[in-house]
C-alpha cells in the first residue's frame, strides 16, 4: 500500500510496521520545503521497526535498490529533507549512466593486490619453466634472482615501462657483457609474454630492437689453435682434480659443459663390450637422447666407479656432489696459461670459454677426416630433413671411430698421450691452492 499523505518526519514515524520481513512505502512526487522526491524514492520499514530511505532505479536490464540511510527522529540518522536532496542528486547521476549500488560495492571491495615483476617471474618459474623446460630451469631462475629481481623486481607489473628495462639492460651489459644482457632480455621477454596470455589488461613493454647484439655477432667462432691446446694441456698438469679430467673430457667427447659436469656413473652403459655414455633426453638441449662412445683415452681419464663412492664422475666430494667450481677453476687455468706464455716470450692467449672446446673438437674432427654428418651426430645435433626424421640408425660405430680419431689428433698435437691422468682421486676439497 502506498501512502499519499504529506511527507514529513511524522509521516515516516507513523508508517505501519510489518509483521514479517520488510515493506517499502514510495513517496515519488511528494514535496517538503520545496524539494520534490524523485521517482523510486521510498521508506523501507522492517519488522523490527527500523526505517531507512531507499531509491529504486534500473541499471540496464537490472532493477536496483540503493539504501540512502536510516531515519532517526532523535538525530544521528537521515532527516526526510536530507534524504530527498540526496535522492535527487543520485537520480541525476543515474540518468547520466551511473550505478550507485555498483559504485558502493566497488568502494567496499578491497583492491586486488598489486602484482610486481618479481611475482610474475615467480609464477612463471613455478607454473611454466619447471614444468616444461627442465633443462634450462636452473639457468633461467638464476638470471631472475641475480640480474632482474634486484633491479626491477619490486616494480608493479602494470607500471613496468620500457625505460626501466633499458636501464636494467644497460647495467647488465656494463657488468656482465652484451651477450648476458641479451640472454636476460630473452628470459624476461618470455616471462612477460607468458603473463600477457593470462592477463587481459597487460601488454609487454618489450619491443623489437632492444637487444644489444645482432644474431651474427652473438654467434661465436672461437676455436683453439694447436699451440693454445698445448698451453691448456700444460697448465692443466699443474692443477688439482677433478678439473683437469673434466676439461679434457669436455674436449675429447665434444659435449656441453653441463652434460659433462653432471656425468653420472649410471649413464655409462656396457652392452656387448661396447661402452657408451647415454645422455638422457631430459638433460640434453635437443631433448633427444645421445649415445656417446667412451674412447680408450676418456676411459683412462675418468677411471672406474671404484675410484669414488658417489653417483657423479667429476666431483670434489668423493662423487657425492657434482663438480660446480667451473668459473673459479677456469680463472685459475687462465692465470697459469698466461704464466706459461709469458715465460716463453709469447703474448697473452685470446679470451676463450669452455664452450669453445666443443667447437674446437668439431673443427678437429673435420681435420681428422671425420664425415660431417657423423661429427654432427657426435655433438648431438639433430639432422634436419627427411634423413633426420626417418634414419633411426644409432651410428654408434661411426661415432666411436670419430672420437678415436679426435683422440689421436689431440695426442699428436700435445706430443704425448692426451690423458696424463690415470684416474680421478677419491676425494679433493678444492680445485687448487
The structure's pTM equals: 0.53
| 373 and 318 housed in the same domain | yes
Q: What is the pLDDT of residues 177-212, one digit of tens each?
A: 888 899 999 999 999 999 999 999 999 999 999 998
Q: Does residue 429 form part of some domain? A: no
CA distance 433 to 240: 8
Q: Does residue 420 form part of some domain? A: no
Region of poorest pLDDT, from 20-29, 120-129, 413-422: 413-422
Q: What percent of the chain has pLDDT over 70?
A: 88
Please state the rounded mean pLDDT for residues 83-99.
Answer: 94
| 264 and 386 housed in the same domain | yes
Could you tell me the pLDDT band of residue 133, with boundaries at 50, 70 and 90? low
| 288 and 369 housed in the same domain | yes
CA distance 221 to 88: 79
Q: Which of 58, 76, 108 is the last residue of a domain?
A: 108
Q: Does residue 3 form part of some domain? A: no
| Radius of gyration for the chain, computed over Cα atoms and rounded to the nearest angstrom | 38
Q: What is the pLDDT of residues 214-243, one digit of tens each?
A: 766 555 678 999 999 999 999 999 999 899
Phi-psi bin for 319: left (phi > 0), alpha (psi -120 to 50), beta? left
Number of domains the chain is built from: 3
CATH assignment at residue 96: 3.30.160.390
| 19 and 101 housed in the same domain | yes
Q: Does residue 194 form part of some domain? A: yes
Phi-psi bin for 428: left (phi > 0), alpha (psi -120 to 50), beta? beta
Q: What is the pLDDT of residues 276-287, one digit of tens each?
A: 999 888 777 667
Q: What is the pLDDT of residues 40-87, one digit of tens each?
A: 999 999 999 999 999 999 998 889 999 999 998 776 789 999 999 999
User: Residue 152 to residues 57, 144, 198, 268: CA-CA distances in angstroms?
Assistant: 47, 10, 21, 44
| 125 and 68 housed in the same domain | no
Range of the domain at 338: 226-414
Q: Which three cell numbers stand for residue 60?
A: 540496464
Q: Which of 218, 248, 273 is the last residue of a domain?
A: 218
CA distance 278 to 361: 19
Q: Does residue 419 form part of some domain? A: no
CATH assignment at residue 147: 1.10.150.130
Please state the rounded mean pLDDT for residues 429-433.
Answer: 39
Q: What is the pLDDT of residues 348-403, one digit of tens each?
A: 898 898 999 999 999 999 999 999 999 999 998 876 554 444 444 678 999 999 99
Could you tell me the pLDDT band of residue 306, with boundaries at 50, 70 and 90? low
| 278 and 197 housed in the same domain | no
Q: How many CA atoms lie within 13 A of 252 on its CB side?
A: 28
User: Residue 82 to residues 71, 88, 289, 395: CA-CA distances in angstroms?
Assistant: 10, 10, 80, 92
What is the structure's pLDDT at 225? 95
Amino acid at each position: 500500500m502506498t501512502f499519499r499523505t504529506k511527507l514529513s518526519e511524522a509521516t515516516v514515524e507513523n508508517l505501519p510496521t510489518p509483521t514479517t520481513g520488510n515493506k517499502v512505502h514510495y513517496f515519488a512526487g511528494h514535496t517538503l520545503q520545496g524539494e520534490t522526491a524523485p521517482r523510486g524514492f521510498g521508506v523501507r520499514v522492517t519488522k523490527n521497526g527500523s526505517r531507512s530511505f531507499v531509491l529504486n532505479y534500473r541499471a540496464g536490464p537490472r532493477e536496483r535498490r540503493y539504501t540512502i540511510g536510516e531515519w532517526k527522529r532523535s538525530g544521528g540518522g537521515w532527516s526526510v529533507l536530507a534524504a530527498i536532496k540526496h535522492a535527487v542528486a543520485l537520480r541525476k547521476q543515474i540518468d547520466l549512466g551511473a550505478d550507485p549500488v555498483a559504485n558502493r560495492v566497488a568502494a567496499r571491495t578491497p583492491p586486488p593486490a598489486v602484482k610486481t615483476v618479481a611475482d610474475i617471474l615467480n609464477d612463471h618459474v613455478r607454473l611454466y619453466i619447471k614444468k616444461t623446460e627442465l633443462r634450462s630451469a636452473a639457468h633461467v631462475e638464476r638470471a631472475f634472482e641475480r640480474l632482474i629481481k634486484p633491479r626491477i623486481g619490486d616494480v608493479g607489473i602494470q607500471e613496468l615501462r620500457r625505460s626501466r628495462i633499458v636501464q636494467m639492460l644497460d647495467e647488465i651489459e656494463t657488468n656482465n657483457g652484451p651477450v648476458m644482457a641479451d640472454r636476460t632480455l630473452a628470459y624476461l621477454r618470455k616471462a612477460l609474454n607468458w603473463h600477457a596470455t593470462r592477463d587481459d589488461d597487460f601488454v609487454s613493454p618489450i619491443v623489437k630492437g632492444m637487444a644489444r647484439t645482432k644474431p651474427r655477432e652473438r654467434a661465436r667462432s672461437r676455436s683453439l689453435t694447436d699451440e693454445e691446446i698445448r698451453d691448456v694441456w700444460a697448465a692443466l698438469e699443474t692443477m688439482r682434480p677433478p678439473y683437469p679430467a673434466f676439461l679434457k673430457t669436455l674436449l675429447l667427447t665434444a659435449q656441453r659443459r653441463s652434460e659433462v659436469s653432471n656425468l653420472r656413473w649410471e649413464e655409462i652403459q656396457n652392452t656387448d663390450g661396447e661402452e657408451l655414455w647415454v645422455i638422457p633426453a631430459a638433460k640434453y638441449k635437443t631433448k633427444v637422447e645421445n649415445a656417446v662412445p667412451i674412447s680408450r683415452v676418456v676411459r683412462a681419464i675418468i677411471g672406474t666407479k671404484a675410484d669414488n663412492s658417489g653417483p657423479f664422475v667429476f666431483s670434489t666430494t668423493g662423487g657425492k656432489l657434482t663438480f660446480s667450481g667451473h668459473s673459479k677453476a677456469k680463472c685459475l687455468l687462465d692465470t697459469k696459461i698466461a704464466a706459461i706464455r709469458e715465460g716463453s716470450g709469447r703474448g697473452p692467449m685470446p679470451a676463450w670459454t669452455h664452450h669453445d672446446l666443443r667447437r674446437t673438437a668439431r673443427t678437429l674432427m673435420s681435420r681428422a677426416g671425420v664425415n660431417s654428418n657423423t661429427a654432427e651426430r657426435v655433438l648431438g645435433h639433430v639432422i634436419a630433413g627427411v634423413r633426420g626424421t626417418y634414419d633411426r640408425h644409432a651410428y654408434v660405430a661411426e661415432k666411436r671411430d670419430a672420437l678415436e680419431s679426435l683422440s689421436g689428433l689431440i695426442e699428436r698435437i700435445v706430443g704425448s698421450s692426451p690423458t696424463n691422468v690415470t684416474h680421478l682421486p677419491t676425494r679433493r676439497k678444492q680445485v687448487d691452492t
